[in-house]
Structure 1
Amino acid sequence: MIAFVRGNFIIKSPAQVIVDVNGVGYELQISLNTYTAIANSSSGQLSTYLHITENAQTLFGFHDNREKELFLQLISVSGVGASTARMMLSGMKPDEIVKAIVQGNVKQLESIKGIGKKTAERLIVELKDKLSKGSTANLDAFVPQSNTIEVDALNALTSLGIGRPLAEAALKKALKNATSNTPLEELIRISLKNM
């Protein structure tokens, strides 16, 4: 699985970006939300999700992990494919989608192209509890701003089998006492003690 790509943005459009990674061009399908975030950048890093179907292999790119996590939540709902999820992330900001689902706002979800009443209701039924209980796309979730030591620490904690909300809370506490020189291993140890 390709977790992210980092390189130069060779071609950008509101629907896709081609990233040159050491001479190899990766074509990523992106949302309007991601395009807005990278529009003025000539290079950077995008989190990715490789969607494999019978007829194609499509690489989706996301400006941050929060958008990627919401995308994964959306495609877990029956009737919501990868293209529809990307359309949702283009039609509304991730925070707005989460808020609409948590508040059960069918009309707001229906305003997105490709989302009918039944799909909107299914999204609410299947995701409302997950999103309102502090899952990965929670409105107040801790989201590291870049691929830094915080991201590495959070990934390490979750790979140890610790739930993301608990890992985020422990890491927040650890970061309050950490300095800019605190090594990754120490940050993980402090976080584990904060649980």
Structure 2
Amino acid sequence: MYEYITGRIETLTPASVVVEAAGVGYFLNISLQTFSQIGSRTEVKLYTHFAVREDAQVLYGFFSRAERDIFRSLIGVSGVGGNTARMILSSFTAEEVCTIVATGQADVLKTVKGLGLKTAQKIIVELRDKIGAGSAAATYVPVQGAAGETFSEAVAALTMLGFTRQATEKALRAIQQESPAASVEELVRLALKRL
């Protein structure tokens, strides 16, 4: 229904953004990848996916068409909903998802919260021919560290994604000991693999 939305950023969190376009504020669910790419911009163009369910109408926003294409491929797999696909794209970049699928790394994919081994294998089987092409030579290497930001922002981001505060804080403290200079984005990405 909507191809993209261009406008001014009203509010931005690691899980969502409100973009004002032509006097209308659009609430879009975003991945951590899109959050990082928006960065400190005040205006943005986000490619969208509009999902209509029995109980809700949800708008998802993506910084790139490639990320949206991967999202659409993921939700096309039975058992993978919008939130799970967004969680996958918060844990891995679109390129990493392609590599993981192409190389059949179900064990890496199942580290995403809410994704079991069977579903991870199903994603790989169903999408290998669609999104894995051209990535077979590459291998996924987990992200290790980055430059620093705040613990409380990472906690807020993870609790918005549905994790309990206690588990979130415990995971983030452990990650901060290993990578004291990690940014909010890195803290959240690494925590998503542990929680």
Q: TM-score range by the shorter chain?
A: 0.5 to 0.7
Contact kept, 8 Å, 2:14 with 2:31, in 1: the verdict is yes
Q: After TM superposition, which residue ranges in structure 1, 4 or more long, deviate above 3 angstroms?
A: none
RMSD of equivalent CA atoms: 1.6
Counterparts of residues 82-93 of structure 1 (less than 5 Å): 82-93=82-93
2: CA distance between counterparts of 1:90 and 1:73?
15
Q: 2:17 maps to which residue?
A: 17
Contact kept, 8 Å, 1:10 with 1:20, in 2: the verdict is yes
1:57 aligns with 2:57: yes
Q: 1:77 maps to which residue?
A: 77
Contact kept, 8 Å, 1:6 with 1:43, in 2: the verdict is yes
Counterparts of residues 97-112 of structure 1 (less than 5 Å): 97-112=97-112
TM-score, length basis structure 1: 0.68
Q: How far apart are 1:23 and its partner, in Å?
A: 1.2
Q: 1:37 maps to which residue?
A: 37
Cα deviation code 1:81-130 (max 9, x no counterpart):
01100010001111111111110001110111111100000001100111
2: CA distance between counterparts of 1:72 and 1:84?
12
Q: 1:124 maps to which residue?
A: 124
1:46 aligns with 2:46: yes
Higher RCO (CA-CA < 8 Å; seq separation 6+):
2
2: CA distance between counterparts of 1:66 and 1:96?
12
The gaps in structure 2 that reach 5 residues or longer are 137-195
SS where residue 14 of structure 2 aligns?
Answer: coil
Letter in structure 2 aligned against 1:57: Q
Percent of pairs with identical residues: 40
Letter in structure 2 aligned against 1:72: R
Aligned length: 137
Contact kept, 8 Å, 1:12 with 1:39, in 2: the verdict is no
2: CA distance between counterparts of 1:10 and 1:39?
13
TM-score, length basis structure 2: 0.68
SS where residue 55 of structure 2 aligns?
Answer: coil
Q: 1:172 maps to which residue?
A: none
| Structure with larger Rg | 1
SS where residue 96 of structure 2 aligns?
Answer: helix
1: CA distance between counterparts of 2:89 and 2:132?
19
